[in-house]
Chain A
């Protein structure tokens, strides 16, 4: 099976998020970056499918120079090769614009299966994979935890709300957006890290993939969330704060 995995680099979860002075985006200068978590699960699923059925795992990522480190990480974990769509202006593209770039890079690969994460931790759009399916004219399913190859195509386990699931049969080729938690993630081995350096990482300029139409949705402004509830913050040493809290829970909130 030839599997393409779309991987996005996002700010590390613990990185402090500060709004840049123009109020249009965050300060990116001192951020640390990581692989979007659901994409790590998508990669894991792809690697396991390859181990079972043979084939190739190709990583695609769009973003500036820095995303190469995340691509190398994917190669170190076992992806065979990668395509880096070099783009400094992702922020000015909407989801359709980003999906068009990814589709243009993926189409010539003719993959059997395309995996994306269900949602990015920074933009949280939860759309790119589904739009990709439309652009590639392939069937899709979302929120997938497990993928099993069958004679007719795939059987996948889809998450529904409140602890329910559903199983879906679908033909190949197809696009799936992967939910976190379906597998245990592997670490890159030392050997893997060494080997990654020799693997193919092809850089394509976004401009070569064709300029998309203007975005239909624009981000006008970002702000810090407004507090809705007045939260009483208990200060002091851990011991003082804990004692004060228990007192409040007893006498004020009356829940102890």
Chain B
């Protein structure tokens, strides 16, 4: 029970930054507890994952290698990390809160009689771990009260990655024992549904509509606003789930990431899975009837009101200003 182990996810495009953020969270925890930092990942010791360390390098790196880990499976990863953790006996194990972590870490933790403190946004003295409840409407502070290792996953964008340091980290290989029969599921390679025909990523202006629009019949309201602004129309997930707009117009963690000059969020609450896809926008405007909606936390301008009154007024105002 002597270290903080920060785990990196096997290479996926764009996963370096969230690992670096998780390292930064690990350093915060190290400062609070005085424990040393170590890093682990599934892969070759020469793999990029171990070169993407920013800030002061961890005191040790562990490269987990096994042919049965070539493709990610929860079964394989739970076995491998269980063995590594039993050997290293870390006090804390930190993961980036990715789909992969969600898939296997709760099971890994349960094997140690532990639960994951998931999707953590801050670490404070105690240590206490903050996470959101009610889709971002409430913050909660959690404390770990057992002797076993404490499993934590870190929310995308919650910690600021340190600058590259150029330091190196001694890396050792860890070879877990895994039998083919222990891997019960067979994943295929990732695929995309269809060719993307709209590139929201390069749009200058986006009008994004959420569940506040209530029914498909009301969509012309936001179409008119997008038309007046010469903007692309996009939506939160429930709108695309309902088929009111095609999925390629969905903004968020399971949709597109956008960063236009102007982003108008109409009737969107601002759940984290939505925010990660748009908070890089230059100017964010939110229209919502709930003054406490989390979307206002990232908005530059806001109108608290009924979108059925505000949106037509906005369309008129835009036209009048032309």
Q: Which residue of A lies closest to B74 (CB)?
A: A140
User: Is the pair B102, A164 in contact by a Cβ cutoff of 8 Å?
Assistant: no
Chain B 256-293 interface mask (CB, 8 Å, partner A; 1/0) = 11000110000000000000000000110110000110
Q: Which of B34-42, B54-62, B143-151 contacts A (4 or more CB under 8 A)?
A: B143-151
Taking CB atoms, residues of chain A closer than 8 Å to B257 are 162
* Contact bitstring A117-154, B, C-beta under 8 A = 1, else 0: 01001111111001101110001111100000000000
- CB contacts (< 8 Å) of B115 on chain A: these are 94-96, 127, 131, 216-217
Residues in A neighbouring B190, C-beta threshold 8 A: 160, 164-166
Give Cα distance in the complex from A11 to B137, angstroms: 12
For this complex, 28 residue pairs linking A to B, each with C-beta atoms less than 8 Å apart, are A96-B113, A99-B110, A126-B118, A127-B106, A131-B115, A139-B74, A143-B103, A158-B187, A161-B253, A162-B253, A163-B256, A164-B192, A167-B187, A168-B187, A169-B188, A171-B184, A216-B146, A218-B143, A223-B141, A225-B297, A229-B297, A231-B302, A233-B302, A235-B304, A238-B310, A242-B303, A247-B321, A255-B283
Main secondary structure of the interface of A (DSSP, over half): mixed
Q: Are B297 and A227 in contact (CB under 8 A)?
A: yes
Besides the known contacts A134-B110, A216-B113, 4 further A-B residue pairs in the complex with CB atoms under 8 A apart: A124-B131, A161-B98, A167-B191, A217-B115
Question: With an 8 A cutoff between CB atoms, is A191 at the interface?
Answer: no
Question: Which of the residues A122, A125, A242 comes within 8 Å of B134, measured between beta carbons?
Answer: A122
Comparing B21-29, B87-95, B168-176, B240-248, the segment that makes contact with chain A is: B240-248
Please, how many angstroms separate the alpha-carbon atoms of A112 and B209 in the complex? 40
> Is the pair B134, A143 in contact by a Cβ cutoff of 8 Å?
no
* Alpha-carbon distance between A139 and B98 when the two chains are bound, in angstroms: 20
A125 close to B118 (CB less than 8 A): yes
Q: Which residues of B contact A162 (CB under 8 A)?
A: 253-257
Which residues from B are CB-within-8-Å of A142? 74, 99, 102-103
Nearest-Cβ distance from residue B300 to partner chain A, whole angstroms: 7
